[in-house]
Structure 1
Amino acid sequence: MSEYRNCAGVSRRDCLQFGLSAMAGVGLTSLLRLQAEASPTVARKGTAKSCVLIWMDGGPTHFETFDPKPDAPAEIRGEFEPISTKLPGVQFSQHMTRLAGMLDQFSVIRSIRHDQGNHGAGNHYMMTGSPPRIPVGCGAFVSFHPSMGSVAAYELGKDNGLPNYFSIPSMSRSGGPNFLGAKYAPFVVGGDPNSADFRVRDVALPQGLTEDHFNRRTDLRKLVDRIERINDPAAGDPVGGLDEYYRQGYDLITSRTAQAAFDIQRESEKVRDAYGRNGFGQRALLARRLVEAGVPFITINDGGWDHHADIFPTLRKRLPDWDNTVATLISDLNDRGLLESTLVVALGEFGRTPAISTLNGQKGAGRDHWANAMSVLIAGGGTPGGVIVGSTDRKGYTAKERVLSPENFVSTIYTKLGIDPGKIVYTPQGRPTHLVSDATTIRELA
């Protein structure tokens, strides 16, 4: 499978390397201290138990998806025609056909804007609800604050043999736990679930090793490993943290729940075909299976939305499949009685420029980075259907009505998950930090 790269030259391999480095640092004892010192979690009011975040890495165009501008000049409106949706007076771009016909089952935010117009900064802001503390480059992998997925794992995590935060097929560049520690980093599921030999690492015993032999080796390790643990929480004992990693790895390998959740071959051919026989479609199906297994947060890191060139021929091929998969995921969750308790969210770090241009002499028209306007799809978790929040101006230059911030968006996701966005958590150094500095939610989506 080919790797998607954005204009900064960042690949899935880079994301994986960053994910490993982000897992280093805080020990288990310090994490336990943090959890003990943190202010009590407010009683759950949200209806969502899980969230599937479809991260459209690179910055998806709002013009060619959920906010077409048919009255704008040709050099702005582009090559695609608008189509009617189920909501009178609301139009999507022409390849959003299935989603247009089921707008009563989800909502779209058209008026989020911010001031971070490069991949590194924009990714961090939308993934965490916290702007970078210092200027960062377009290709930067930055983590100044815990991601939504890590916070969900920290607040909602269960001890059922499965990690509480997954990222498929790689980790987004700002999807890590920061000061929450490695325990709340995502478990990355690489590979292509559409492949006949798809197999998730670490959820099965190595070939040739029986369960009895595995248990004996585990007992032997415990016998040999007699290093005294430091019980002082302030010491940040790294051995204690290593014990936690071993425990999680052992639980994953021996978990029947994990093995069942990843066995996508159990799905009928009809269901697999409905999601789409491609990598994105089968990852969405895998995400639904993880929701059924009780995982609080799953990110589908869907790269390749950085369309500085060839935007129209590329999206003609891509959008019909993407539209079908997202529509199928929402419908399938609804049919299974899971949509009320599952958020489905699709967005990237920003939108695209109104002016169609080329980058560095590349052939084929494209759109550049644009943080003044973007579109976000949100379904489930008690979200009303058929709601369009805010608007952009006639040419799509900027959010005009109900201008919202990344803080408002992230606070809304937390609230729907029953997490208090204004909660104060503590760093290992004892510094108090709000999950979100502005805990104001988007009232139309309550």
Structure 2
Amino acid sequence: MPANIPAHHPAMSRRTALEVGSISLLGFGMNHLDAFRAEAAAPTKLRTAKSCIFIFLSGGLSQHESFDLKPEASAEVRGEFNPISTKTPGLQISEHLPMLAKRSHLWSVCRTLSHGTNEHSMGHHIMLTGRSDVPVGFNPSRPMNTDHPSIAAIAGDVIRPRTNLPPAIVLPDKIIHRTGRVVPGQFAGRMGSNRDPWFIEASPFHVQSYGAFPEYAFDHQQRGGSDNRVFQTPHLKLSQGMTQKRMGNRLGLLKELGKQREVLDIAGQVESFDRYRSAAISLLNDDKVHNAMDVTHADDKVQERYGKNSFGWSLLMARRLVETGVNLVQVNMGNNESWDTHGNIFPHLKDKLLPPTDRAVSALLDDLEASGRLKDTLVVMCSEFGRTPKISQLAKVYARPGRDHWGATQSVFFAGGGVKGGRVIGTTDKIGGFPIDQPQKPENFAATIYRALGLPQTAYWHDDVDRPHFIYEGEPIAGLT
């Protein structure tokens, strides 16, 4: 056993956790703090001071309109956008990412990440878990307990919390299809639902509205519906009737649990229970936690730099959470598969999707660099797949042309966490359809994140019958560091 992995102790049973949790610790209904789910953590807890902000663009960012333009290709391939030069000689990106172009010394791009599916649900599962293989019993319509665990779930399980907050958080929403089905790949899967990552759900679901609301909300099919959503940052307070005095009384009662601890586990394996209780108290009393989440009341100048929209607020919250000690924050930028541009691709990317992303990611990089945190914070940005080389037209549904799903290649953005800026990893063919050198797999992508989090190649998690499962399924992407 590696020296930095603590010795394994027996886990608290679910029944015991239920019995202890049944006293209703704080009397408020925040399910992520529910002691009913506070089972003992996996034995492979690892100490690390590294961080990652994982930006996921649900729907499929077009490589041709972002980081891998093909200006010499035919019109049906190259599209309407022009490349612009970046701060890095020889590196060009979309004209609609001008702020990132000025910061190319801070980031690099891999243009050759590839997998074998063009289907949304499987694509999400592959990229969010870092596993190319299809799990037994996979159901594209809903998450299954046989799914592979997400990167966020693994990070949350194996990393020791640095604060009373969990080590991995997902915001501002779960990824949900417009039909209302929850997309698989976001959860703990076969690790067990008790190890799902924490979700801060600040972005209400809307059946036909996409993008960075309210400022950049739109509908792919231009049906003209209204969108009155409000970005709902978590409001942390004691529940009605739960005064500070009553809370104190309850905490006093909890001290009596000390008499039961020897019964629960003579080795003191109530650490997980204590951790969840501490997290609950922290959320109610820690000004840093309140400040991290209350982004819509941040200084106006800060909000303007990030953008007063769901993309900007989400990345501002992610940065603040990292500053409080959260190791991995996954940010879903655009629910309802906002980046699924089968039609109207050029106006929607130009006017609705790329501008707020360009602004928010640039502000994030600026702040991390200014604070000295960029060197220890990996920022990654990807989708479930790229888009087809050829433009197509679905005239019955969309007014203007677009591109379809394409798993064969996508461009993935990397910054910080030891990544050297201004680099391009891999080359695609003349039409941006297939890698011609340095192809990368989702397993390499996940390994890059795990390395940035400081997890050793020997890291593993244990299932409910104590079997170890190694975390790394590939090597980190070569050439980034």
Short-chain TM bin: 0.7 to 0.9
**Structure 1 residue 216 corresponds to structure 2 residue 249:** yes
Letter in structure 2 aligned against 1:129: G
Q: Does 1:308 align with 2:319?
A: no
TM-align CA RMSD: 3.3
| Aligned-partner SS, 1:445 | coil
Q: Is the 8 A contact 2:427 2:437 kept in 1?
A: yes
For residues 213-245 of structure 1, the C-alpha deviation after alignment (integer angstroms, 9 at most, x for no partner) is 222245458879999997479xxx9x9988875
Say yes or no: does 1:60 pair with 2:38. no
Deviation at 1:412? 1.3
- Per-residue CA deviation, residues 310-351 of structure 1 (Å, 9 max, x unaligned), is 111111112112111111111111011111111111111110
| Matching residue of 1:145 | 148
Distance across 1 between alignment mates of 2:437 and 2:470: 28
Work out whether 1:187 is the aligned partner of 2:189. Answer: no
Cα distance in structure 2, aligned partners of 1:240 and 1:416: 26
Letter of the 2:158 counterpart: E
1:286: how far off? 1.0
Counterparts of 1:239-388 in structure 2, within 5 Å, are: 248-264=279-295, 267-303=298-334, 304-318=338-352, 319-359=354-394, 361-363=396-398, 364-388=400-424
Q: How far 1:160 sits from its partner (Å)?
A: 2.1
- Hey, what's the Cα distance between the residues in 2 that align with 1:232 and 1:213? 29
Deviation at 1:378, TM superposition (A): 0.6
CA shift digits 1:83-108 (9 cap, x unpaired): 11222222111201111121111000
- Mark the runs of 5 or more structure 2 residues left unpaired by the alignment: 1-30, 176-183, 204-212, 215-228
Deviation at 1:272, TM superposition (A): 1.2
Matched, 1:102 2:103: yes
Aligned length: 410
1:125 is aligned to 2:136: no
SS in 2 for 1:124: helix
How far off is 1:413 after superposition? 1.3
Secondary structure of the residue aligned to 1:63 is helix
Secondary structure of the 1:59 match is coil
More displaced, 86-95 or 352-361? 352-361
**Residue of structure 2 equivalent to 1:154:** 157
TM, length-normalised to structure 1: 0.82
CA distance in 2, matches of 1:140, 1:67: 33
Shift of 1:397: 1.0
Change (3 A) 1:62 1:200: same
**Map of 1:66-77 to 2, 5 A cutoff?**
66-77=67-78
Aligned pair in 2 of structure 1 residues 221, 414: CA closer, same or farther (>3 Å)? closer
Contact 1:118/1:137, CA 8 A, preserved across alignment: no
User: Does residue 167 of structure 1 match 2:167?
Assistant: no
After superposition, the Cα gap between the structure-2 partners of 1:425 and 1:52, relative to the gap in structure 1 and judged at 3 Å, is: same
Query: Do the aligned partners of 1:275 and 1:281 also contact (CA within 8 Å) in 2?
Result: yes
Whether the 8 Å contact between 1:52 and 1:342 is mirrored in structure 2 is yes
> Which residue of structure 2 lines up, in the alignment, with residue 412 of structure 1?
448
**Contact 2:143 / 2:189 at 8 angstroms: preserved in 1?**
no
Render the CA deviation track for 1:119-148: whole Å, top value 9, x for unaligned: 221112111222322474554435622222
- The AA in structure 1 aligned to 2:293 is F
The alpha carbon displacement at 1:168 in A equals 1.1
Q: Is the 8 A contact 1:24 1:182 kept in 2?
A: no
Look up the equivalent residue of 2:389 and give its one-letter code: P
Change beyond 3 A, Cα 1:366–1:240 = same
| CA deviation vs aligned residue, 1:129-175 (integer Å, no higher than 9, x gap) | 22322474554435622222222223333252222221111134422
In structure 2, the residue matched to 1:49 is 50
Distance 2:320 2:240 in 1: 25
Residue identity in the other structure for 1:394: K
1:395 counterpart residue number: 431
Q: Cα deviation per residue 1:388-437 (whole Å; 9 max; x = unaligned)?
A: 00011010111111011111111111112211245333211233322132
Residues 175 and 252 of structure 1: CA distance in aligned 2, closer, same or farther (over 3 Å): same
Secondary structure at the aligned position of 1:361 is classed as coil
2:453 maps to amino acid: L
Aligned position for 1:427:
463
- How far did residue 381 of structure 1 move? 0.6
CA deviation profile, 1:242-276 (whole Å, cap 9, x unmatched)? 88755543443233432232233663221111111
CA distance in 2, matches of 1:139, 1:68: 33
Residue 392 of structure 2 aligns with an amino acid whose one-letter code is: S
- Return the offset for 1:63: 0.8
Answer with 428-437 or 241-250: which moved more: 241-250
State the AA in 2 paired with 1:401: D
Are 2:447 and 2:473, in contact at CA under 8 Å, matched by a contact in 1? no
- The higher-RCO structure (CA 8 Å, 6+ apart) is 1
Shift of 1:211: 1.5
How does 1:233-244 map onto structure 2 within 5 Å? none
| Cα displacement (A) at 1:190 | 2.2
Letter in 1 for 2:198: F
Any unmatched runs of 5+ in structure 1?
1-19
Q: Contact 1:162 / 1:255 at 8 angstroms: preserved in 2?
A: no
SS in 1 for 2:54: strand
State the one-letter code of the partner of 2:110.
I
